[in-house]
Amino acid sequence: MHRRILVTGAAGFVGSALIVELQRIGHYVRAAVRRLPRASLPVDTVLVGDISSETNWSAALDGIDTVVHLAARVHVMHDTSTDPLAEFRAVNVAGTAALARASGAMGVQRLVFVSSIKVNGEETRDRPFSADDVPAPADPYAISKSEAEYELRCIERQTGIDITVVRPPLVYGPGVGGNFLRLLKMIDAGIPLPFGAINNQRSMIFNGNLVSGLVACATRAEAAGKTFLISDAQNISTPELIECLARYLGRRARLLRIPAGLLRTLGRVAGKGAEIGRLTGSLVVDNSRLRETLGWVPPVDVTTGLRETADWFRKTHSTSHV
């Protein structure tokens, strides 16, 4: 059955790939954007402006039966806000709740909310994160996503709209930005990286795999009311990640063997504690509920995803192609 789907944050890294895939398989897709992108999107596009409790969703939601809500205030490097949590709440909690209420009032059947694995916490030790864990968000962004999930469950009970929550870990793939792009740049430049002694496991998700999972969550009846964790089929250690990316970039991985405890201490002193923590600690996701409920299998394996990401980087950023 073909659906009429609104995608918020449609001009972003995940959203731009999602609208192409939804359209390819025959769904009507409408994009909601905060500002018009430099290049026009290949679908009906509605400008909604900044997302808050006051956003007018009526034009975007007209005739829509399914919403995939990707738009959010994400991590802000060197955030200068005097109250970052209030800023995150304004967009991610109040803005999301307003969209859900408007969706319920306009007859939308399902809203898929793209949350974050950070709702579960920052690090796993004795077992993987599961969808049934008590939330343990540790920073303002994660707190806002956890609170948004709570608000959505309340609205679900009040209005009858189906809410599906998806919590991805780090998303990578062609077009990636943020810390993953910085890592690619350092490997490409031959900068020695102090992670050779790290023995950890990290779950990530290739953008194409996330898109595949979101399509299933938006279109399958069995997804209604569920919270899913999503990840690639294989986990990877930080040294394995660096070595794999270096190989596909045609570089030599320059890994220094520095003990994890010392690295964490140095990271805290340098004000990079959270960043070093992510590279030295483990974060493993149990995605079994998604696989068992929807029969979902990630279509792309980790090595293929990393190769495609490295190929994109070589064509667009690498010093060897300047």
Q: What is the pLDDT of residues 161-206, one digit of tens each?
A: 999 999 999 999 999 999 999 999 999 999 999 999 999 999 999 9
> Does CATH number 3.30.70.360 belong to domain 4-167?
no
Region of 80 (left: φ > 0; alpha: ψ -120 to 50; beta: rest) is alpha
* 302-316 and 238-249 helices, crossing angle to 10°: 50
Distance of CA 68 to the CA centre of its chain: 13
Domain boundaries in the chain?
4-167
What's at 256, amino acid-wise?
Answer: L
Cα separation values, 89 from 25, 223, 274, Å: 35, 26, 21
Write the pLDDT tens digit of every residue in 202-248: 999 999 999 999 999 999 999 999 999 999 999 999 999 999 999 99
- Confidence at residue 79, expressed as pLDDT on a 0 to 100 scale: 62
**Helix, strand, coil percentages in the chain from 3-state DSSP, rounded to 5:** 45, 15, 40
**What global pTM score does this model have?**
0.95
Write the pLDDT tens digit of every residue in 234-288: 999 999 999 999 999 999 999 999 998 999 998 899 888 888 888 899 999 999 9
Decide if 141 is catalytic.
Answer: yes
- Residue 241's nearest CA partner among 207, 196, 275, 189 is 196
What phi and psi, each to the nearest 5 degrees, are found at residue 90? -60, -40
pLDDT surpasses 80 at 319 = no
What are the beta bridge partners of residue 199?
none
Distance of CA 197 to the CA centre of its chain: 28
Q: Mean pLDDT in the chain?
A: 94
How far is it, in rounded angstroms, from Cα 228 to Cα 188?
35
Active-site annotation holder among 141, 150, 172, 248: 141
Six token digits for residue 243? 């070595």
Q: Which residue is it, tokens 């990079």?
A: 272
Tell me the chain's radius of gyration from C-alpha atoms. Answer: 20
The band of 58, judged by pLDDT with boundaries at 50, 70 and 90, is very high
pLDDT surpasses 70 at 320 = no
- Residue 166's nearest CA partner among 62, 18, 60 is 18
- Confidence at residue 322, expressed as pLDDT on a 0 to 100 scale: 42
Residue 85 three-state SS: helix
